[in-house]
Amino acid sequence: MKTLKRSLPGRTLLLKRVATRFRSLSVHVVVPKPLRTFGRHALAALAVLAIAGLAARPAAAEELAKNLFGAKKLPAVAAPQSIGFYSKGCFAGGVAIPLDGPKWEVMRPSRNRRWGHPTMIALIEKLSRDAAADGWPGLLVGDISQPRGGPMLSGHASHQIGLDADIWLTPMPDRKLSLEQRENMSATLLVDEKTHLVKDALWVPAHMRLLKRAASYAEVERILVNPGIKKKLCDTVKGDRAWLRKVRPFWGHDYHFHIRIGCQPGSPNCKAQENTAPGDGCDQSLAWWFTEEPWRPNKNPDRPKARDVMTMASLPAACQAVLDGPDPASAEAVTYYGDGVPVAAAPVLMTAPAPARASASGEAALPASVNAFAATPEIGIPLPRPRPGN
Ligand SMILES: [Zn+2]
């Protein structure tokens, strides 16, 4: 997802809700005369109390899950386990990637989204080394997950179970970025917004090699890129093209690519994605992205996003236990340094077994070729639908 700018719609919504409640109350309550002189102060104080009350009460079923998961600073200590689906779930036993590694730097660190399933974190560390060997200077790591996953206050519909990660398509600079630069440095858009084609002046063979390397790991099931980038690969990759099957076109993803790994061992309640269709995907399903249809304005812009209605009741029941799980002693205690230094449970890069394939019921409203989780149809052009997030 495109998350260049930060916003906190959730908090704003909460404040609005409190304000609305207070307004509706004040219609019915006759304020005694001496109190009227306090006017706005009294209102402000009550609003603060109301907010404090909301924060202090136990997690109620109607509380938005994004507020509860967004407030967690540390993972739940437990054996690593992803629960639910990429766009509707949470995870326990998460570990963090350090802000700096020999061949990576974490971007936008204030978001605290450098958490993932140990296999995801180990894979990023491995990719950083392999990519460097391929000639890519190092990774700028974007959002992975919140410490316990779950829906986020802003951005991303997926990234909820510790198995998604965004990596910038900008190479790591040869100087260390300051924290301020990591928060504010603009990303380079590789795709022309009008033509949806890659800007040739910016595209280098190393981009292709980076994506190919990421797709080479058995754990990686999908890589989401902008349709322009997919087209560039379709047009230029020679020889082995089998890996293109994993690279799937999607909105956004014009300055970063998105790595999604499969459900990992030890996660019986992790819901797998559908398999990708056979073939390299350089077919009519790609051609659709170069029609007008995918770029029409959303017909329903005011329809609430899933994260704005998702409560704990919408998530798998086990996510309440994840939310209530114990904190580790510190973030440092659950930070993965790679190269054989174990943290929590030692992550092992291995071929993921095939868990029971369940169709993503929550995603059923989307046509297959515009669903980031479903197989791309080989033929046919899907009907217009509102734009999904990823
Ligand atoms: Zn992403």
175 located within any domain: yes
Query: What pLDDT, on the 0 to 100 scale, is given for residue 6?
Result: 37
**Residue pLDDT, tens place only, 17-70:** 333 333 333 323 333 333 333 333 433 433 433 334 344 444 444 889 999 999
pLDDT at 383: 33
Sign of CA pseudo-dihedral 142, 147, 151, 154: negative
pLDDT of residue 42: 36
For residue 302, the 8-state DSSP code is: T
Compute, in angstroms, the gap from residue 235 CA to the centroid of ligand 1: 24
Handedness of CA 312, 317, 319, 324 (dihedral sign): positive
In a domain, 350, yes or no: no
**Separation of 141 CA from ligand 1 center, angstroms?**
11
> Is there a contact between 357 and 274 (Cβ–Cβ < 8 Å)?
yes
Query: 62 — phi, psi (to 5°)?
Result: -90, -5
Q: What is the Å distance from ligand 1's center to 1 Cα?
A: 5
- At residue 297, the pLDDT reads 87
Domain annotation covers residue 32: no
| DSSP annotation string for 118-161 | HHHHHHHHHHHHHHHHHT---EEE---B-TT----SSS-SS--S
DSSP state at residue 92: E
pLDDT, residue 341, reads: 52
**pLDDT for residue 360 is more than 80:** no
Cα of 377 to ligand 1 centre, how many Å?
Answer: 22
What digits encode the pLDDT tens for the residues 72-124?
999 999 999 999 999 999 999 999 999 999 999 999 999 999 999 999 999 99
pTM exceeds 0.85, yes or no = no
Q: Which residue has the higher pLDDT, 333 or 39?
A: 333
Ligand 1 centroid to residue 34 C-alpha, Å: 55
Nearest to 259 by CA among 241, 247, 267: 247
Tell me: the pLDDT tens digits for 231-274? 999 999 999 999 999 999 999 999 999 999 999 999 999 999 99
Q: Which long-range contacts (CB under 8 A, 24 or more apart) does 17-23 make?
A: 18/47, 18/50, 18/51, 18/54, 19/47, 21/50, 22/46, 22/47, 22/50
Q: How far is the CA of 329 from the centre of ligand 1 (A)?
A: 29
Question: What's the 253 CA to ligand 1 centre distance in angstroms?
Answer: 8
Distance 32 CA to ligand 1 centre (A): 54
Q: Please tell me the distance between residue 164's alpha carbon and the centre of ligand 1 in angstroms.
A: 7
Percent above pLDDT 90 for the chain: 64
* CATH code for the domain in which residue 220 is found: 3.30.1380.10
Q: What does the block give as tokens for 293? A: 């249809």
- Give the Å distance between the CA of 145 and the centre of ligand 1: 10
Task: Enumerate residues 6+ apart whose C-beta is below 8 A from 194.
Answer: none
**Residue 117, helix vs strand vs coil:** coil
In a domain, 38, yes or no: no
Mean of per-residue pLDDT scores for the chain: 79
Tokens of 249: 């076109």
192, part of any domain? yes
Would 383 be classed as within a structural domain?
no
Distance (Å) from CA 65 to ligand 1 centroid: 19
E strand intervals along the chain: 81-85, 88-92, 95-96, 100-101, 104-106, 115-116, 139-141, 164-168, 220-225, 247-249, 256-261
Residues 95 and 75: beta-carbon distance below 8 Å: yes
Residue 107 lies in a domain: yes
To which residue do tokens 């605290």 refer? 112
Domains identified in the chain, total number: 1
- Is there a domain that residue 261 lies in? yes
CA of 390 to the centre of ligand 1 (A): 7
Query: d(Cα 286, Cα 91) in Å, to the nearest integer?
Result: 33
Q: What is the pLDDT of residues 344-358, one digit of tens each?
A: 443 433 333 333 333
Nearest 5°: the CA angle 225, 131, 164 is 45
| Domain enclosing residue 254, as ranges | 77-329
How many angstroms separate the alpha carbon of residue 324 from the centre of ligand 1?
26
Taking the centre of ligand 1 as the mean of its atom positions, its distance from the CA of residue 82, in whole angstroms, is 17
